[in-house]
Amino acid sequence: MFNIILFGPPGSGKGTQSEKLIAKYNLKHLSTGDLLRSEIANGTPLGLEAKKLMDAGQLVPDEVVVGMISSALDANQQVNGFLFDGFPRTTAQAEALDKLLKLKGTEIGVVLALEVSDAELVKRLLNRGLTSGRSDDTNETVISNRIVEYKNKTAIVADYYKKFDKARAIKGEGTLDEIFDALSKEIDLRQSEK
């Protein structure tokens, strides 16, 4: 199994690049944002609670997302590997993920951190809001809250993986194909080192 974390601020292109990467490397895509939105669409109690925080651009509690990831790992035993998108977003989530993967006899292979300027992030998110149907993409205050949450709680997660020499920074600006090629190059390199 080769497991990847696609890391980066909201609007850095994680979702778009994830789609291309799972097709190329035959991975199971696990996006906590998508899992939460499906809980909301199904009107579950978890979804109703999460929606309030998501609409404010704040993070959902660690136990909630870790629980969802744990179930998703159990439900997908026979896969080549996982691509984590939007998770982990706190150091506590990163530690919990390490433990869960260890129980399954596997680990994170590489963390690919997309880097995009703040101005570009806001531009992309507002643009995405025109078609995504996501209320958290249309309001500039919510967008800036999401970026603040990233800076306060999530950016340090990259340092956690740097300790284990697993994090790689990738320029998240350029054409989709240029970014995809840069991500693929790092994955191929890491896989060849295994």
Residues serving a catalytic function are 14, 89, 128, 134, 146
Among 28, 89, 124, 168, binds ligand AMP (CB under 6 A): 89
Q: Is residue 60 a contact residue for ligand AMP (CB under 6 A)?
A: yes
Written as six digits, the tokens of 110 are 């590489």
Please state the closest distance from residue 176 (CB atom) to ligand AMP, in A. 18
Among 5, 65, 108, 116, binds ligand AMP (CB under 6 A): 65
Distance CA 80, CA 94 (A): 21
Q: In what order do the strands lie in the sheet with 28-31?
A: 28-31, 82-85, 3-7, 108-115, 167-171
Please state the closest distance from residue 194 (CB atom) to ligand AMP, in A. 26
Q: Say how many C-beta atoms besides its own lie within 10 A of residue 68's C-beta.
A: 20
Q: Is residue 170 a contact residue for ligand AMP (CB under 6 A)?
A: no
Q: Is residue 114 a contact residue for ligand AMP (CB under 6 A)?
A: no
Q: Is residue 100 a contact residue for ligand AMP (CB under 6 A)?
A: no
Backbone angles phi, psi at 129, to 5 degrees: -60, -25
Q: Is 111 exposed, middle or buried (0-12, 13-18, 19+ CB in 10 A)?
A: buried
Please state the closest distance from residue 150 (CB atom) to ligand AMP, in A. 9
Distance CA 117, CA 11 (A): 10
Q: Is residue 59 a contact residue for ligand AMP (CB under 6 A)?
A: yes
Q: Is residue 87 a contact residue for ligand AMP (CB under 6 A)?
A: yes
The residue number with the shortest CB distance to ligand AMP is: 33
Please state the closest distance from residue 193 (CB atom) to ligand AMP, in A. 28
Q: With contact defined as beta carbons under 8 Å apart, do 5 and 111 qualify?
A: yes
Please list, in sequence order, all residues whose beta carbon lies within 8 angstroms of the beta carbon of residue 68, skipping any fewer than 6 positions away. Answer: 32, 35, 36, 39
Please state the closest distance from residue 116 (CB atom) to ligand AMP, in A. 14
Distance CA 61, CA 64 (A): 6
Q: Which is nearer to ligand AMP, 46 or 169 (CB)?
A: 46
Which residues contribute to the site for ligand AMP (CB under 6 A)?
A: 10, 32-33, 36, 53-54, 57-60, 65, 86-87, 89, 93, 136, 146
